[in-house]
């Protein structure tokens, strides 16, 4: 992935638009991250008003989007959902036809839905708009309970911060775990929120530091190779297993098992990139137990094999010399 086009239209949401600029538009070559050719495009170049009282000047037309490796679709206002610009629809259809990535943030999913490329696919949007999308496009399997959905070469995401999660997910697929972690560190955000995590977290921050689960999750990260049943984790948190599971879901938006599986996979990615350990050793270090289970998790979640992942992203001396 080398070229990125972000489509903005009148009434765009500045924060969600800014996520794409932050994720793909900044020069991070001093951290070893490749520089993308990132451009903001619009159907009618010139002044494009945002939805909160200011405008930006966009010089580029949609032509660049027809060549981009990734097309990002910023949110559009509700009144535009049923009247999406035909020129933008054409760009989306052509991008999917030529195998480019398409990524939406929040209500940008309505733009892609209008193009027809989501028909028969699974997708998401902000939970407040999911029922409307399902009603407008019954041929789309709309999932309101996740942060983002990856189906084919299309990634749809929920509102606000979930769009950043989707951007980091795509960057992880394209750049690998280590470079994506560097990008996330520069942003001061966690790099590992999983797409299956719930959009609505009942209590985003612990009610008091005395009840924080951070010591337990830190310990889990340090002991991934161990079997970590909920009753053991609950004991460390001085809670009953039922209370711990409920509290974990409220704080993290997912179950302890799902969170742990994701952390193990991320650690496996790091070891594949940074070491020459064999698959059995990596499986042991990450708690998968065997290379076969490691392969299953890679295939199911990342759509590739550990060997293929290492061949693409390894930064060990042996790989760099080859």
In a domain, 192, yes or no: no
CATH of the domain at 267: 1.10.10.60
In a domain, 200, yes or no: no
In a domain, 139, yes or no: yes
Are both 150 and 67 inside the same structural domain? yes
Give the pLDDT confidence score for residue 191 in this predicted structure.
58
**Tally of structural domains, the chain:** 2
The answer, as to whether pTM is greater than 0.85, is no
Q: What is the mean pLDDT of each run of 10 residues along the chain (322 residues)?
A: 97 93 94 95 97 95 97 95 96 98 95 97 93 96 90 91 90 89 82 54 40 85 93 93 90 85 90 93 94 91 86 70 48
CA distance 238 to 211: 9
Are both 213 and 181 inside the same structural domain? no
In a domain, 179, yes or no: yes
Give the pLDDT confidence score for residue 302 in this predicted structure.
79
Are both 171 and 252 inside the same structural domain? no
Are both 144 and 176 inside the same structural domain? yes
Give the pLDDT confidence score for residue 7 in this predicted structure.
98
Spatial contact of 155 and 148, defined as CB atoms under 8 Å apart: yes
Are both 62 and 179 inside the same structural domain? yes
Give the pLDDT confidence score for residue 317 in this predicted structure.
64
CATH of the domain at 130: 3.40.50.880
Spatial contact of 20 and 36, defined as CB atoms under 8 Å apart: no
Spatial contact of 294 and 261, defined as CB atoms under 8 Å apart: no
Domain with 265, as residue range(s), is 206-322
Given 160, 187, 214, which residue is the final one in a domain?
187
Tokens of 318: 């042996």
Strands (E), 55-106: 55-58, 70-73, 101-104
């Amino acid at each position: 992935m080398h070229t990125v086009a972000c489509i903005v239209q009148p009434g765009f949401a500045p924060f969600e638009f800014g996520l794409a600029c932050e994720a793909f538009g900044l020069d991070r070559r001093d951290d070893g991250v490749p520089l993308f050719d990132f451009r903001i495009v619009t159907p009618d170049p010139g002044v494009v008003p945002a939805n909160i009282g200011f405008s930006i000047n966009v010089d580029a037309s949609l032509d660049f989007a027809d060549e981009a490796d990734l097309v990002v679709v910023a949110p559009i206002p509700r009144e535009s959902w049923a009247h999406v610009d035909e020129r933008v629809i054409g760009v989306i259809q052509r991008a999917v036809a030529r195998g480019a990535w398409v990524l939406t943030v929040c209500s940008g999913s309505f733009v892609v839905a209008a193009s027809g490329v989501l028909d028969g696919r699974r997708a998401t949007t902000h939970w407040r708009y999911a029922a409307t999308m399902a009603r407008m496009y019954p041929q789309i399997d709309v999932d309101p309970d996740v942060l983002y959905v990856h189906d084919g070469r299309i990634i749809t995401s929920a509102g606000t911060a979930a769009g950043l999660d989707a951007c980091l997910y795509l960057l992880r697929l394209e750049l690998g775990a280590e470079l994506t972690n560097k990008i996330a560190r520069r942003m001061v955000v966690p790099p590992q929120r999983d797409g299956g995590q719930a959009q609505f977290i009942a209590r985003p921050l612990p009610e008091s530091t005395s009840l924080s689960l951070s010591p337990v999750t830190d310990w889990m990260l340090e002991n991934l190779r161990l079997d970590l049943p909920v009753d053991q984790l609950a004991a460390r948190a001085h809670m009953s297993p039922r209370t711990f599971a409920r509290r974990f879901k409220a704080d993290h938006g997912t179950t302890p098992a799902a969170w742990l599986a994701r952390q193990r996979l991320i650690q496996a990615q790091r070891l594949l990139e940074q070491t020459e350990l064999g698959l059995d050793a990596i499986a042991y270090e990450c708690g998968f137990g065997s290379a076969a289970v490691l392969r299953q998790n890679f295939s199911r979640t990342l759509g590739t094999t550990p060997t293929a992942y290492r061949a693409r992203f390894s930064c060990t001396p042996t790989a760099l010399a080859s």
